[in-house]
Chains A and B, each alone.
Chain A
Amino acid sequence: MKTQAGILSGRLQKAPENFLDREGIRKVIAESQTGRRTFMRHAFAAAAAGAAAPLALSQGNPVPVEGGDPYILNLPEHATALGQGVATDGYGKPSKFEANVQRRQSPGLTQTTQASVSFAPLQSLFGIVTPSGLHFERHHQGWWDIDPSKHRFMVNGMVKEPKVFTMDEIMRLPSVSRFHFIECGANTAVEWGNVAVPTVQYTHGMISCSEFTGVPLITLLEIAGADLKNAKFILAEGGDGSSMTRTIPMSLITSGEVLVAYGQNGEMLRPENGYPLRLVVPGVQGVSWVKYLRRIEVGDKPYAAKDEAVHYMDLMPDGTHRQYTNIQECKSVVTTPSGGQVLLDQGFYNITGLAWSGRGKVKKVDVSVDGGRNWRQARLETPVLSKALTRFNIDWVWDGQPAIIQSRATDDTGFVQPTYQQLRAARGTRSIYHNNAIQSWLVQQNGEVKNVQVS
């Protein structure tokens, strides 16, 4: 056992602090732009040359020479002694063996932690719900843990009577609980022009899905007597330092979809996610889900707030910017196997991933293992909910040859997730936001999976 532990501690040694500096980033971009179109062919040749010995399909779980697995033959302490008592930890935590599953910053992406983002570890999550402690974060001016007894919510503007509510009052109103995804408009942004990051955590980790509990905003607007005939927009405003504001489409409010939420996955919102109150705007990019929500203003004109008039705008090839972007279009990604992972051997694998659409339900997901030439329809797991993450799975037997794995989602409007070529033909390569292109993962013959883009 000692030898094995020694080998393992070697494999799992702590990563050094190793940031890609500016020069490094330039090199990455330059190299990728000089084109690696022939890479696949070269990779095939190199790998084939290196593989002189014929491959015997090895057994990942072989019978040890002693005639049995010591973990079976020698009863462990947990089977032969007394375990711990109830309420040892008043708020239970994940197993210590799950310490690798963390939300993480992308090195070099931002200069501060207060105006920054952390990415959810999609490669390690199951089903559709993101554990609240792993929910991605995006803060514009740092996060706070606000005393809920002092938090107030105001409705003003085109209303009969401007109103203020305490948390007690909001929580007295009829509540609803709904599963929805929240995706940052800049999710996958760094990949617009070329591959820039190694894993699905960094390519797609600015998405999470929770069960949110709260009050439909329309209820609160009706209490204030909002002029719903003449009002066309609302402004949502946060109570933190940035007091972030966004213009929200009225149709999503009158439909009852937009919630003033306090609950997340059965408990209160986490401070990093807006405790005690945030807006939930299903299908719309995360920047509109204003955290620490303090005010809604009802109005007849849009507001051109900083995060819709300077940021979260798509630069188009004609030099104009698209303002007031909202909907996150249909998108999917395979989370396993995905970039930075290693398949230890050939044989059976369960390809699994996530699909979603800001316009409704996911209708189907197709998966290719040959870079988009042929596709098979994946199994959608229940529940399949509107504007929520949907989990898909499909069987795959890896023959040890290079494979390029992709997924392609179709939503119930009939919209099919685009390729990079289609997206770039419409929006160019400088648009930063709203990248919903089909993702490709190259499974190499050595089992290592790489983030790639295909032509």
Chain B
Amino acid sequence: MSKCRNGWLAIVLMATATAALAQSTVYQGVGRLATAKEVAAWDIDVRPDFKGLPVGSGSVEKGQEVWEVKCASCHGVFGESNEVFSPLVGGTTADDVKTGRVAALLRPDYPGRTTMMKVATVSTLWDYINRAMPWTAPKSLKPDEVYAVTAYLLNLAYVVPDDFTLSDKNIAEVQQRMPNRNGMQTRHALWPDKAFNGTIKPDTANVACMKDCVPEANVASMLPDYARNAHGNLADQNRLIGQQKGADTARPERKGLAGALGVVTTNAAAKPTAKPADPALALLNKHNCTACHAQDRKVVGPSFNDIAKKYPSKTDYLMGKIKAGGTGLWGTVVMPAQSAPDTDIKTMANWLAMGAAK
């Protein structure tokens, strides 16, 4: 009897040991070897030492062709536009190309910072254009087109001459001409380990003083009155109940003291439920129309309101324009032809023709 019990115990112990061993070595059945083809399809990053850069080349001239068709509508013909994104080009000089430091970054009055003023590594441009551009069709450029567009961008910033062809062979030399190549530092406390030059102390060393810490506080900055409602009515952005209410910024600020304001109540009324959004609005998002058009203001293209005003009830005409694209009616920027399904285009065109009501 006792023998038998010991035998059971031994089996139980063995089983436990096996389970422990299995857990510490492998997670059996989880994950498989990635094929070379799979890794090649996804491993597209290019490092500053150009590890990962595909073989290829592209000229400034070819880059300009690609740019005007695929990039200019957002970034401007010369990379200068700030209508959709921050400008790419501007603020760098021939002298910066020599020193590797962008002098305009030292000027507090300089109005903005372009990509070319900031970027230190040409690999960053190549990598990002390759993985994420054009904005509405990322990863659609072939490697030679990425070289060409990068060359054009560098040419706009006077880093390479007009007749230049950028390639995997000469890109390391181009790196030595990047206007802000010496403008980076990595010695700071916002990186947690010693990978870059060791850990540094934080920039500030405030002390938790508790009494008579500073003289009288003065207000040095606050919003001007005319910006009161610039973020919409703040009364609609606070819960209806609680120790505070949202300020009714649709009206001028109240004079007088709290508690003597009249209209004080803790009984809140529900905001009427918003009516369901028109399906056209979702389609305008889905097909990226909103990348270039806004409801009530010009972005790259005209506002939906302006289109609705100009073409009342003209659903068929608008369908044709959306499908074919075009230029000249509202400005010089080309609207590309759209390939959305007909039913979607009809819904959107009809919404515009019926007044573009939000």
Contact = CB atoms under 8 A, between A and B. Distances in A.
A299 interface: yes
A454 B218 contact: yes
A8 B271 CA distance: 10
Interface of B: 26-27, 29-34, 38-39, 42-45, 47-49, 51, 83-85, 101-103, 105-106, 108, 113, 115, 118-121, 123-124, 127-128, 131-132, 135, 138-139, 180, 183-186, 188-196, 202-224, 226-250, 253-261, 263-271, 273-274, 285, 288, 290-291, 294-297, 299
7 contacts: A58-B260, A162-B34, A172-B27, A313-B118, A327-B191, A400-B258, A453-B219
A84 B70 CA distance: 55
Which of B103, B123, B238 has the most CB atoms of chain A within a 10 A radius of its CB?
Answer: B238
Given A53-B260, A243-B132, A303-B48, 11 more contacts: A7-B263, A8-B268, A19-B230, A58-B264, A107-B230, A111-B84, A245-B127, A284-B192, A303-B45, A344-B264, A454-B220
A197 B103 CA distance: 31
Contacts of B236: 12, 14-15, 100
A446 B254 CA distance: 7
B303 to A, nearest CB: 11
A45 interface: no
Nearest to B269: A8
Nearest to A351: B243
B233 A419 contact: no
A328 B311 CA distance: 51
A329 interface: yes
Which of B189, B230, B285 has the most CB atoms of chain A within a 10 A radius of its CB?
Answer: B230
A322 B258 contact: no
B217 A415 contact: no
Given A24-B227, A163-B34, A172-B30, A295 B43 contact: yes
Contacts of A272: none
Contacts of A140: 132
A243 B191 contact: no
Contact-residue size bin, chain A (C-beta under 8 Å from the other chain): 35 or more
A17 interface: yes
Given A242-B131, A310-B124, A340 B210 contact: no
Given A15-B233, A154-B34, A199-B234, A51 B299 contact: no
Given A141-B132, A198-B223, A324 B243 contact: no
Nearest to B30: A169
A206 B148 CA distance: 37
B264 A366 contact: no
Contacts of B83: 111
A111 B299 contact: yes
A141 B271 contact: no
A64 B221 CA distance: 43
B39 A154 contact: yes
A391 B287 CA distance: 42
Given A8-B265, A96-B270, A343-B243, A249 B222 contact: no
Given A12-B236, A13-B233, A325 B213 contact: no
A194 to B, nearest CB: 4
A397 interface: no
Contact of B208 (A32, A38, A343, A366): A366
B32 A163 contact: yes
Contact of B124 (A173, A295, A304, A375): A304
A447 B245 CA distance: 10
Contacts of A100: 236-240, 246, 271
Given A18-B229, A374-B212, A195 B45 contact: no
A316 B290 CA distance: 35
Given A423-B203, A448-B247, A51 B256 contact: yes
B30 A364 contact: no
Contacts of A450: 222-223
A233 interface: yes
Given A51-B256, A162-B33, A454-B220, A99 B270 contact: yes
